[in-house]
Amino acid sequence: MTGAQQSGARLVEPHAGGLAQRLNWLRAGVLGANDGIVSTAAVVVGVAGATAAVPPVFLAGAAALVGGAISMALGEYVSVSSQRDGEKALIEKERGELKVDPDGEFEELVGLYRAQGLQPDTARQVALELTQHDALKAHLSIELNINQDDVVSPWHAALASALAFTIGAVLPMLTILLLPHPVRIVWTFVAVLAALAVAGYTAAWIGGSSRWRAVVRTTIGGALALGATFLVGSLFGTGFG
From CA 240, how far away is CA 46, in angstroms rounded?
13
Residue-wise pLDDT tens digits, 29-74: 777 888 899 999 999 999 988 888 899 999 999 999 999 999 988 9
Tally the C-alpha atoms within 13 A of residue 232's C-alpha that lie toward its C-beta: 11
Amino acid sitting at position 180: P
Where do the structural domains in the chain lie, given as residue ranges?
17-77+158-235
pLDDT class of 174 with cuts at 50, 70, 90? very high
From CA 187, how far away is CA 217, in angstroms rounded?
20
Residue-wise pLDDT tens digits, 149-158: 666 678 887 8
Q: Is 125 exposed, middle or buried (0-12, 13-18, 19+ CB in 10 A)?
A: middle
From CA 40, how far away is CA 170, in angstroms rounded?
8
